[in-house]
Chain A
Amino acid sequence: MNNSRQIKHLYARAGFGIRFEDLHDQANQSIKKSVKKLFKASEKIEFLDALNENIDLRPKPVAQTDMDKMALQAERNKQEKALNDAWVKQLSETDAQLREKMTLFWHNHFSCNIGNAYYEQELNNVERANALGNFKTLLLQVSQTPAMLQFLNNQQNQKGHPNENFARELMELFTLGRGHYTEQDIKESARAFTGWAYSGKTGVYTFNPRVHDNGQKTFLGKTANYCGEDIMSIITDNKQTAVFLCTKLYRYFVNDIPDDTHVNQMADVLYKANYEIKPLLEFVFLSDWFYEDKNIGNLVKSPIELLVGLNRQFYISYQNPDVLMQFQRTLGQVLFRPPNVAGWPGGRSWIDSSSLMYRMKIPSTILNAGLIDFTGKATPEDEAYLASQRKQQLNVIKRVQAQPNWDKFLHDIPPDTTHLQIAEFMLEPKLDKTVVDEMNSSADIKSTIIQIVSTPEYQLC
């Protein structure tokens, strides 16, 4: 029995794509063994530690000159780049690819965009630590990070003048989804989260009882003096939370269009497992429907999945990793800079005329260490940096300085593999005759590879 198609699909979805060496080892094993192997490799947790200083905790100088502010903005910008580089590197090199893939999922689910990269790193590590753990723990821990407290304005949520932003997003985006609570539920539950804050002096979460509202709150039909944790329990006791999460996970791992039967099966598993993520994912990866034709090779890779998949496949090292951030900008997904609280919409929204051309061009540009003749737009957040540095646009890197490890890549390809077989290995969708003809007619193996990564098919996983 040869399971290579299934194993390849599993790695494309649960990770960032398979390498020849992985497939060679596993083609004749059961799928169950491969799933187990993926989880095993993801047991270790490698925290990001690129940043060790929280700039906001520095003592505030009495008088700040314009030069001081300019320098500070430049430092923030440097931290943001360092964090971005560090995560892309980890995504590209880790063995714990399922953990990173889920961290990427939570990164979008708990979308957060703030100016402090140190807090972003902390939030990212909370998401990584709990990526395959318990959703209830994750939800609580994320909600108490300075990053999220700041982003959703819970610092301003106090008894007498509540700020409803956190309560609203908690229900709309993190748990129940629209239509399963009322505006009144938001108002009442916001009061339960009063006093959840972090200290500006230490940068650590501290509950502040003095501004907490101890009154009765009526939430989803029940009345008591609820605290924030109580509200979260009521929300997760509601099975709709499991359905909402599983719908999103289905779209992430299986298909853009949710299948109600499969989503409900998933929600049953998650709910019965008390919101443990691991059994849910095992269930998905071992379901027959996960391997049905219509669920193979039909998801549009996010820009990060595209770049990371390429890096992993070819063991690429970058002399100047900033170019990766430039590519993220061009393709519309800069890590730690999601467009709004709802995150990146994903799917076909990644693709327009220009982004598709760049997506088909960037892989060969990287593999050939070629010239870049396009730039991404400054994100709204880049603006403060630009203005403070008296610039009109971001610096643009003109040449990719990167080195793929061709020797290692080629070495792992079994002898006698045809060009077409390499294409079938590297591309998830079934190949059309045109592509087959192109592969059969290409002159040498390197040009074959360059063509493979330049196809529309390579955009899918």
Chain B
Amino acid sequence: MERRDFLRNTALISGAFMVPAFLKPLEAMAKGDLTGHKNLVIIQLSGGNDGLNTVVPYGNDIYYQKRKTIAINKPDIVTLNDMQGLNPNLSALKEIYDQGWMNIVNSVGYPNPDRSHFRSMDIWQTGSDADQFLTTGWIGRYLDSNCQTCKNPYTAIEVDDTLSLAMKGAKMKGIAVQDPGKLFQTTREPFFKDLVHDHGDTNLNEDNLGYLYKTMIETYSSADYIQKTSKTYNVTAQYPATGLGYQLKNVSKFINSGLDTRVYYVSLSGFDTHVGQQAQQGRQLKIYGDAVAAFIKDLKSTDKLDDTLVMTFSEFGRRVEQNASNGTDHGTANNVFLFGGKLKKAGIFNDAPDLTQLDNGDLKYQVDFRDIYATLLDKWLDVSNSQILNKNFVGLDLV
């Protein structure tokens, strides 16, 4: 006990002496370097959200023919133009849409679509081709790209307990933080603290043990930075009392406190609606719409909306024709939403999905999802997309 107390005191007194060399730039980073940097917030809807009942092509009779019992009734739809409108559970987003802070990209997908959840999610998270298996995620490879602000795990934060493949690179990985205080407490358990402060240099070698120690020290240091920085800001805006509401409130706290993070990642489950779709999807969309609307309004009021871009995707859309259980089965192309104060084109980006030219009952994709990623990488995160996506995508005129 005595020895440990001694070491802890020594560490406190000598301060920088104990901090390994490779961590110093991080600790020394001045806040001034970071003003005005842009944030990307990714919201994943897991399970395959039914895009056609989310942004409803109510002006197309085929929609009503194919969805006899689960179509959204015309009078209930929040109309956007004479062809498409929002599911009534997304009514909170109407205000956002009208302000020009929302953009809907229709028919997003990829060639040779896979209808399995795990494979298609894999493809979206890694940014691979349908017949390619990558072990790193697209945000992870962005971290690997060694861009100016990609030096630390907290460059990309997932507001969750565990880290998605999207956030894992070959060398660098993001960090999962559900609750900064809890993460801080975990890393400060006395025994971990001792290991972090007292480890010898041999434990920082290039071998796997060195990798573990380095990860531990980075986590320790990141937890401290995230906790200390984020607690300087108190979110005053009202958020709905849902899981997603809580997560986005945390993202707001992180952004507004000036955390040096570029990418945030959150997910919402429960969209695999094979059975009794209307009630289940309606509940989930309400959670989504209310939380996002609160988040966007909050950022507007704190002047951060122009520096923030929100993207929502799901691993696939669902079949055009409903099934016999008042639900829908796995399909292909889907809509992607973008939110932000600086959108190039507000409203609906491209034509509503074509319900006549189907591929075996499924929508044909018009926009490759990697063209959206490419746009975000090139125009928002300031790295060349070909470096991250392994080939060059032209991108879209979105931001």
Q: Which residues of A contact B (CB under 8 A)?
A: 64, 66, 69-70, 113, 168, 256, 297-300, 329-330, 332, 337, 339-342, 345, 347-349, 351-357, 360-361, 373-384, 386-388, 390-393, 429, 432-435, 437-438, 441, 443, 451, 454-457, 459-460
Asked whether B273 is an interface residue with its Cβ less than 8 Å from the other chain, the reply is yes
CA distance A339 to B136 in the complex (A): 12
B46 (CB) vs chain A CBs: closest residue: A383
> Given the known A-B contacts A437-B198, A438-B191, are A377 and B162 also in contact in the complex, defined by CB atoms under 8 Å?
yes
List B342-361 residues whose CB lies under 8 Å from chain A: none
> Given the known A-B contacts A345-B135, A356-B212, A386-B47, are A376 and B161 also in contact in the complex, defined by CB atoms under 8 Å?
yes
- Is A356's CB under 8 angstroms from B203's CB? no
B168 (CB) vs chain A CBs: closest residue: A352
- Is A434's CB under 8 angstroms from B122's CB? no
**Pick the contact of B215 from A347, A353, A383, A457 — CB < 8 Å?**
A353
- Is A66's CB under 8 angstroms from B326's CB? yes
Chain A hits for B167, CB < 8 A: 352
Closest 5 CB pairs of A and B: A380-B117, A383-B47, A456-B212, A354-B176, A383-B272
Q: Which residues of B contact A (CB under 8 A)?
A: 1, 3-4, 46-48, 116-119, 121-122, 131, 133, 135, 153, 160-165, 167-168, 173-176, 178, 182-183, 186-187, 191-192, 194-195, 198-200, 202-203, 207-209, 211-213, 215-216, 218-219, 222, 243, 267, 269-276, 279-280, 284, 287, 315, 324-326
| A69-B274, A354-B163 given; 7 more Cβ-contact pairs under 8 Å | A64-B325, A300-B208, A355-B163, A356-B212, A381-B118, A432-B200, A454-B192
**Pick the contact of A352 from B1, B175, B199, B273 — CB < 8 Å?**
B175
CB distance from A317 to the nearest CB of B (A): 26
- Is A434's CB under 8 angstroms from B198's CB? yes
Chain A hits for B315, CB < 8 A: 380
| Residue of A341, A351, A384, A387 most packed against chain B (CB within 10 A) | A387
Chain B hits for A393, CB < 8 A: 243, 269-270
CB distance from A165 to the nearest CB of B (A): 9
Chain A hits for B176, CB < 8 A: 352-354
CA distance A349 to B215 in the complex (A): 12
Chain A hits for B276, CB < 8 A: 66
B218 (CB) vs chain A CBs: closest residue: A353
**Pick the contact of A357 from B46, B47, B186, B208 — CB < 8 Å?**
B186
CB distance from A320 to the nearest CB of B (A): 20
> Given the known A-B contacts A340-B133, A456-B195, A460-B208, are A384 and B215 also in contact in the complex, defined by CB atoms under 8 Å?
no
A297 (CB) vs chain B CBs: closest residue: B209
Chain A hits for B122, CB < 8 A: 339-340
CB distance from B362 to the nearest CB of A (A): 16
CA distance A438 to B315 in the complex (A): 48
A164 (CB) vs chain B CBs: closest residue: B131
- Is B47's CB under 8 angstroms from A387's CB? yes
CA distance A168 to B112 in the complex (A): 15
- Is B211's CB under 8 angstroms from A384's CB? no
CA distance A119 to B118 in the complex (A): 19
B158 (CB) vs chain A CBs: closest residue: A354
**Pick the contact of A432 from B160, B163, B199 — CB < 8 Å?**
B199
Chain B hits for A299, CB < 8 A: 208
CB distance from B20 to the nearest CB of A (A): 13
**Pick the contact of A298 from B1, B162, B163, B208 — CB < 8 Å?**
B208
A-B CB contact pairs (8 Å), 23 listed:
A341-B133, A345-B135, A352-B153, A352-B174, A353-B173, A354-B176, A356-B212, A360-B192, A378-B46, A380-B118, A383-B48, A387-B274, A387-B275, A392-B270, A392-B284, A433-B200, A434-B195, A434-B200, A434-B203, A437-B198, A438-B4, A441-B3, A460-B209
- Is B162's CB under 8 angstroms from A387's CB? no
Chain A hits for B133, CB < 8 A: 340-342
- Is B186's CB under 8 angstroms from A380's CB? no
CB distance from A442 to the nearest CB of B (A): 9
- Is A355's CB under 8 angstroms from B162's CB? yes
- Is A351's CB under 8 angstroms from B209's CB? no
- Is B47's CB under 8 angstroms from A459's CB? no
**Pick the contact of B269 from A374, A378, A454 — CB < 8 Å?**
A378
CA distance A342 to B136 in the complex (A): 13
> Given the known A-B contacts A298-B207, A380-B315, A456-B213, are A391 and B163 also in contact in the complex, defined by CB atoms under 8 Å?
no
**Pick the contact of B118 from A70, A355, A379 — CB < 8 Å?**
A379
> Given the known A-B contacts A356-B219, A377-B164, are A391 and B182 also in contact in the complex, defined by CB atoms under 8 Å?
no
CA distance A352 to B162 in the complex (A): 9
- Is B209's CB under 8 angstroms from A429's CB? yes
CB distance from B248 to the nearest CB of A (A): 16
**Pick the contact of A354 from B161, B192, B212, B325 — CB < 8 Å?**
B161
- Is B187's CB under 8 angstroms from A432's CB? no
CA distance A460 to B207 in the complex (A): 11
CB distance from B153 to the nearest CB of A (A): 5
- Is A353's CB under 8 angstroms from B161's CB? no
Chain A hits for B194, CB < 8 A: 434, 438
Chain B hits for A432, CB < 8 A: 199-200, 202-203
- Is A375's CB under 8 angstroms from B191's CB? no
- Is B208's CB under 8 angstroms from A388's CB? no
Chain B hits for A383, CB < 8 A: 46-48, 117, 269-272
Chain A hits for B200, CB < 8 A: 432-434
> Given the known A-B contacts A356-B215, A377-B161, A434-B198, are A256 and B208 also in contact in the complex, defined by CB atoms under 8 Å?
yes
> Given the known A-B contacts A299-B208, A380-B46, A386-B47, are A66 and B161 also in contact in the complex, defined by CB atoms under 8 Å?
no
B1 (CB) vs chain A CBs: closest residue: A441
- Is A392's CB under 8 angstroms from B243's CB? yes
CA distance A61 to B55 in the complex (A): 35
A352 (CB) vs chain B CBs: closest residue: B173
CA distance A64 to B324 in the complex (A): 9
> Given the known A-B contacts A351-B211, A432-B202, A438-B191, are A387 and B117 also in contact in the complex, defined by CB atoms under 8 Å?
no
- Is A388's CB under 8 angstroms from B275's CB? yes
CB distance from A323 to the nearest CB of B (A): 15
CA distance A356 to B163 in the complex (A): 11
B284 (CB) vs chain A CBs: closest residue: A392
